[in-house]
Structure 1
Amino acid sequence: MIWKTFGWSFGVTAAGLAAALIFWGWEALAVVAILSILEISLSFDNAVVNAGVLKRMNEFWQRIFLTIGILIAVFGMRLVFPVAIVSITASLGPIEAVELALDDPDQYEQLVTDAHPSIAAFGGMFLLMIFLNFIFQEREHRWIGWLERPLAKLGRIDGFAVGVALAALLLTATTVATSAYQHGGAHLDKSDTVLLSGVAGVLTYLLVGGLSGYFEHRLEEGEERAAEEEEAAKRAGKEPTAVGLAGRAAFFLFLYLEVLDASFSFDGVIGAFAITNHIFWMAIGLGVGAMYVRSITIYLVRQGTLDDYRYLEHGAHYAIGALAVLLLISIRWHLHEVVTGLFGVTLIGLSFWSSVRANRIDAANEASGGGGDGQEQSEVRSGV
């Protein structure tokens, strides 16, 4: 199972490290290894959330996510994205931007850093919308009951999550963005840029998420029929066939996953400049990390980890919310990538511990003949 799931990641790691050593030497090898670890640590919460979406797709679309999706993630976000930033902000062609990255890496880094406010606003608002839509929904299990219970009630108000997100954006644009961090420690007023980019992030979430939700709704009748067939198969003593989302619904969920991955990768790409401004070292290191994120996602889906550890998805979404806030804060104050990485790892670790504790209590109750798996007991078992 491990080799089948992580085989490609192991192969890409070996090839990437070998290429770094052969073409650039031991320093490049060390930098690529560090960047790979950085990307994995920053994006583990991404893998957990991806798994929650991916498990709803059929096997075909899961393979698409691992093939075409990884090409988009590695070459699109880790190589093309930094070049595109420079091309747009400096009004250069893609080839000129690559030449600038190779010939004058310091100037290249400056242009990317100066574009950070718009990147952080877009990515921060997209991630914030994901967190808000999760936290404002009623769920079978609550990890932090005293907080999630009243928020779920507020979520019944139409458009409440969008209203909170836009209020956060307005606050950011009128306070944090008035003195945005620039290369070399300078600060400029980027209110208009942040406001525009943030609105684009919200609209992107609404568009992609809305389309996927629309087509999911169209397939509800088909899913209900499939569920009836599964029940009939069970009664007949046959093994039911699990069928995931396919067609247009899966396609738009795939788009949603790619935009989600792009938003998560903003932090890794920007943070990588704290280690190196060599475009190819960065692409290899972050690309290797992205491969492991994909493999971890598939592993979580195939092992049913999200079902076994009920609060893991909660922890990942809280990590998303923290990352969204940190991205918005980073518009003005430069934050070290270790800070964002520790937030995510800590929250997921706590949710994992709470899940293990809840499972042990469930097992003890079953052994002693105790009953009750209600919502109130679920909150007590979480230990949060």
Structure 2
Amino acid sequence: MSSSSSSTLGYFRWAFIVTFVGLVLGGVLGWQSTGTVSGTLTVFFICAVLAVLEISLSFDNAIVNANKLKDMTPVWQQRFLTWGILIAVFGMRIVFPLLIVVIAAGIGPIDAIVLAASRPEEYSRIMHEAHLPIAAFGGTFLMMVGLTFFFNHEKDVHWVEFLESRVARFATIKGVEIAFVLLLIMLFSQLLPEADASTFVHAAVYGLLTFLLVEVLGGVLDASQKTMSEAAKGGLGAFIYLEVLDASFSFDGVIGAFALTQNLFIIAIGLGIGAMYVRSMTIMLVEKGTLAEYRYLEHGAFYAILILSVIMYVQTLYHIPEVITGLGGAGLIGLSLWSSIRYNRREQAHGAEALT
């Protein structure tokens, strides 16, 4: 095995360890809950599928994380990759589903845990009923993330040239992306029943406000840190932004996981394994400089984010399997990687011709 492949596998060491431990726990949980070999293998399989689902849905998350992390100081990079992963695994995969049930059912946290353990079908029903506001909130936040990347007049690298160059020119109009998102919110609200429309609009507006507040707060925190110490720039504000971003990415996977199993603990194991691979991919992208090496990789990720945000909106009207969402995002990123490789080969060929 080459040193290159060895070093690449080295980034996934902890992900492999967590995978092994998680699948063993899944098997133990399956045996305790079913008492049969077939039941144990079923739970084991569900954990594996959930991990793959999370990874497929989070390719773009890893790329966007790496894009932000490369501008952060090593101290804050390390804090995000340690504290951040704890928040991502335990906060979004365990605490977040419990919090939804606490709010939706009006019960205490302990009661929510008891409900998840003793009446998983009721727990699942409450989670699915909460899907509308979650999709509206998460979809709006992610849409703003994607549009902000493209509505940027300083952006001079374009993958889909005819589209992105025109969008970048419109970026000089203040608030154009906000106006676009508000227009889309109003359009989708007209397609929903009246009772759902009000819930959708409120949740979507909260998603928009959250994005704007995180942007403002991030700017203020990083600016204040910069005045205290130049070494602190790209710190707390960027950390908060990445945490909210990760939460928005997680909404779809957490809700979708209930289609495979109603057991909160199995979901936490499967999605937790997937989250570790996202962390490993993020570290690899930052340390190997992959984003700089592959010119259009970021573009593919942000297109995938925009498509995911639209899918979350559409899911308020129709069910769209998470497999389609994951494959769509992975396909776009793969296409952008292929375009980047082609671009690099052309540049190398031109360079070789210039030398001859």
How does the TM-score come out when normalised to structure 2? 0.91
Aligned-pair CA distance for 1:222: 10
Deviation by residue 1:112-137 (Cα, 9 ceiling, x = unmatched): 00100000000000000011111111
Residue 159 of structure 1 is matched in structure 2 by 175
Aligned-pair CA distance for 1:2: 3.3
For the residue of structure 1 that corresponds to 2:262, the secondary structure is: coil
Which one of the candidate residues 246, 256, 277 is aligned to 2:241?
Answer: 256
Deviation by residue 1:338-383 (Cα, 9 ceiling, x = unmatched): 111111011111111110000000000000008xxxxxxxxxxxxx
Residue 212 of structure 1 is matched in structure 2 by 218
Residue 379 of structure 1 is matched in structure 2 by none
Residue 271 of structure 1 is matched in structure 2 by 256
How many Å separate the matches in 2 of 1:327 and 1:28?
Answer: 27
Aligned-pair CA distance for 1:280: 0.5
For 1:114, give the aligned amino acid. E
Is there any run of 5+ residues in structure 2 with no aligned partner, and where?
1-6, 31-39
- CA RMSD of superposed structures (Å): 1.9
For 1:303, give the aligned amino acid. K
Query: Are 1:29 and 2:39 matched, yes or no?
Result: no
Residue 197 of structure 2 is matched in structure 1 by 191
Query: Are 1:86 and 2:72 matched, yes or no?
Result: no
How many Å separate the matches in 2 of 1:36 and 1:317?
Answer: 22
How many Å separate the matches in 2 of 1:218 and 1:365?
Answer: 46
Residue 115 of structure 1 is matched in structure 2 by 130
Deviation by residue 1:90-119 (Cα, 9 ceiling, x = unmatched): 111111111111111111111100100000
For the residue of structure 1 that corresponds to 2:235, the secondary structure is: helix
1:1-384 superposed matches below 5 A: 1-2=7-8, 4-24=10-30, 25-138=40-153, 139-175=155-191, 177-178=192-193, 189-216=195-222, 246=232, 249-369=234-354
For the residue of structure 2 that corresponds to 1:368, the secondary structure is: helix
For the residue of structure 1 that corresponds to 2:72, the secondary structure is: coil
How does the TM-score come out when normalised to structure 1? 0.85
How many Å separate the matches in 1 of 2:172 and 2:323?
Answer: 36
Is there any run of 5+ residues in structure 1 with no aligned partner, and where?
180-188, 227-244, 371-384
Residue 182 of structure 1 is matched in structure 2 by none
For the residue of structure 1 that corresponds to 2:338, the secondary structure is: helix
Aligned-pair CA distance for 1:26: 2.3
More deviation, 23-32/271-280: 23-32
2:222–2:237 CA contact under 8 A, matched in 1 = no
Aligned-pair CA distance for 1:331: 0.6
Aligned-pair CA distance for 1:59: 1.3
Deviation by residue 1:130-173 (Cα, 9 ceiling, x = unmatched): 11111111312100110011111111101111111111111122
Aligned-pair CA distance for 1:264: 0.4
For 1:17, give the aligned amino acid. L
How many Å separate the matches in 1 of 2:17 and 2:261?
Answer: 24
For 2:131, give the aligned amino acid. H
For 1:19, give the aligned amino acid. L
How many Å separate the matches in 2 of 1:331 and 1:165?
Answer: 16
For 2:42, give the aligned amino acid. E
How many Å separate the matches in 1 of 2:8 and 2:293?
Answer: 18
Aligned-pair CA distance for 1:87: 0.9
For the residue of structure 2 that corresponds to 1:369, the secondary structure is: helix
Residue 229 of structure 1 is matched in structure 2 by none
How many Å separate the matches in 2 of 1:144 and 1:278?
Answer: 43
Aligned-pair CA distance for 1:210: 2.1
For the residue of structure 2 that corresponds to 1:40, the secondary structure is: helix
How many Å separate the matches in 2 of 1:44 and 1:105?
Answer: 30
Cα distance change on mapping 1:338 and 1:142 into 2, 3 Å: same
Aligned-pair CA distance for 1:218: 6.2
How many Å separate the matches in 1 of 2:292 and 2:75?
Answer: 22
2:55–2:277 CA contact under 8 A, matched in 1 = yes
How many Å separate the matches in 2 of 1:85 and 1:174?
Answer: 26
For the residue of structure 1 that corresponds to 2:58, the secondary structure is: helix
Cα distance change on mapping 1:69 and 1:150 into 2, 3 Å: same
Deviation by residue 1:173-212 (Cα, 9 ceiling, x = unmatched): 222x327xxxxxxxxx311111111111111111112222
Aligned-pair CA distance for 1:217: 5.4
For 2:11, give the aligned amino acid. T
How many Å separate the matches in 1 of 2:199 and 2:29?
Answer: 40
Deviation by residue 1:224-252 (Cα, 9 ceiling, x = unmatched): xx8xxxxxxxxxxxxxxxxxx625x4111
Cα distance change on mapping 1:203 and 1:18 into 2, 3 Å: same
More deviation, 345-354/165-174: 165-174
